[in-house]
Amino acid sequence: IEDEELHDDDTSVSMELLNEVGMAISAEPENFEINSKIARQLRNKRKMIETGAGIDWATAEALAFGTLMVEGTGVRLSGQDSGRGTFSHRHCVLIDQVNENRYFPLSYIRDGQAGFEVMDSPLSEAGVLGFEYGYSLADPHTLVLWEAQFGDFANGAQVIIDQFIVSGETKWLRMSGIVMLLPHGFEGQGPEHSSARPERFLQLCAEDNIQVVNITTPANYFHALRRQVRRNFRKPMIVMAPKSLLRHKLVVSKLGEMGPDTRFRRVLPETDRLVLDKDVRRVVLCSGKVYYDLLQARRDGDIKDVALVRLEQFYPWPRKTLYQQLSRYPNAEVLWCQEEPANMGGWFFVYPRLQAMFDKLDGVNKRPVYVGRKAAASPATGNNKVHVAEQAELVERALSGKIEDIPQPFVRSGY
């Protein structure tokens, strides 16, 4: 494990506790008329726990919440549709189909556990996020989360973000461990439901004031949540949360990846069997959902000489960890690939940091190469066919395009 990651406190959990929590959250309550679809989900969740495989995003989140609560840490979650989950994935509140009684599986794990609160809040983002920020100050030993219905809903709370969340520690010496869950990913849903505007948060990063993550595995999400309250300090965490990945067949983890000797990974290395490291011709560095588009296309094309490295945490910048991964491939070109337009996403943030790294790596290309959408005023197109064509093009360029033929932003006209 890299030096940077050893600074994180232990976030692993015993397999016994993981199984205890898993069985509790997948149990159907007695004398309760549960919706048949939800009952099927609970059975699927039970199978995940029993087999120790196929743990999806919602189950990993529930395991993080449940294990913290058994250990004495309360959990508080609010957002526009947090009980069900905007994408019908969470269902941490069950409703009786006859009398509308409510049941919270996370509240019935073990006697003496800490409390769980989940609230479906109104569309008053500034007011709700401001309240939750204040709650996180008043009770730093509770995991406090605010979830936007879509990431762009944070626009309505920008004043709270700017004035308090990213600068409160510097201005008033008040630490906050609030977590902001902002669904993010380009999936043809139009401009308003594609981007959580990661570039805004990255521009606000300085002096270790916040954490910005774009996580790709349920196990890493589990550890990120537990890390928030297992450290002996508090920092806000901005999560570029998934949408389609909530049910993606490849976005699953093993229960053991949350067990002993595991922790949050700031950078995830190549996982497929490729050619020898010295024979890899290209490394594509990326973050978030686009990784799975690249992975699928690479497998479909049987490409064995392109490595995919995932940046799971943008800030604090994992310099040592990323350097160790890139240095594995001495003869490879290094590209940065993102879904967002060139003037958005992570490009402006990673470029100078990668350039400083390239000066020491002595790799094939002497400066980072950008692959993604051209600069745009709107976060995304409103036409699904255009979206699909754009996505296919950027994936093709990242895996197979010649560097000299890839348009670089702000160099050629229109970029």
Length, in residues, of the chain: 415
| CA 60 to the chain's CA centroid | 12
Across the range 291-312, mean pLDDT stands at: 98
Question: What local confidence, expressed as pLDDT, does residue 294 receive?
Answer: 98
Question: What local confidence, expressed as pLDDT, does residue 217 receive?
Answer: 98
Per-residue pLDDT of 226-282, as tens digits, reads: 999 999 999 999 999 999 999 999 999 999 999 999 999 999 999 999 999 999 999
Question: What local confidence, expressed as pLDDT, does residue 8 receive?
Answer: 74
* Best CA proximity match to 212, nearest among 222, 224, 223, 229: 224
Per-residue pLDDT of 334-352, as tens digits, reads: 999 999 999 999 999 999 9
Examine the pLDDT at 2 and tell me if it is beyond 80. no
Examine the pLDDT at 3 and tell me if it is beyond 80. no
Per-residue pLDDT of 54-90, as tens digits, reads: 999 999 999 999 999 999 999 999 999 999 999 999 9
Question: What local confidence, expressed as pLDDT, does residue 365 receive?
Answer: 83
CA–CA dist 381, 346 (Å, integer): 19
- Count other Cβ atoms within 10 Å, centred on residue 137: 18
Q: Residue 165 gets which letter from DSSP?
A: I
Question: What local confidence, expressed as pLDDT, does residue 121 receive?
Answer: 93
Question: What local confidence, expressed as pLDDT, does residue 277 receive?
Answer: 96
The mean of the pLDDT values for the chain is 94
Across the range 134-154, mean pLDDT stands at: 96
CA–CA dist 292, 391 (Å, integer): 12
Question: What local confidence, expressed as pLDDT, does residue 377 receive?
Answer: 95
Examine the pLDDT at 415 and tell me if it is beyond 70. no
CA–CA dist 324, 360 (Å, integer): 12
- Its sign, for the CA torsion 323, 360, 295, 149, is positive
- Count other Cβ atoms within 10 Å, centred on residue 167: 16
Question: What local confidence, expressed as pLDDT, does residue 304 receive?
Answer: 97
**How far are the Cα atoms of 72, 272, 274 from residue 307, in angstroms, in the given order?**
42, 9, 8
Question: What local confidence, expressed as pLDDT, does residue 1 receive?
Answer: 44
Contact between residue 243 and residue 187 where contact means Cβ atoms under 8 Å apart: yes
Question: What local confidence, expressed as pLDDT, does residue 414 receive?
Answer: 47
Question: What local confidence, expressed as pLDDT, does residue 361 receive?
Answer: 86
Across the range 329-335, mean pLDDT stands at: 95
Strand, coil or helix: what is 155? helix
**How far are the Cα atoms of 140, 184, 238 from residue 136, in angstroms, in the given order?**
5, 24, 14
- Count other Cβ atoms within 10 Å, centred on residue 300: 8
CA–CA dist 407, 369 (Å, integer): 9
Question: What local confidence, expressed as pLDDT, does residue 413 receive?
Answer: 46
CA–CA dist 326, 285 (Å, integer): 9
Please tell me the pTM assigned to this model: 0.96
Residues 6+ apart with CB under 8 A from 59: 22, 25, 45, 48, 49, 218
Examine the pLDDT at 369 and tell me if it is beyond 90. yes
Percent above pLDDT 90 for the chain = 91
Specify the amino acid at residue 203.
Answer: Q
pLDDT band at 5; cut points 50, 70, 90: low
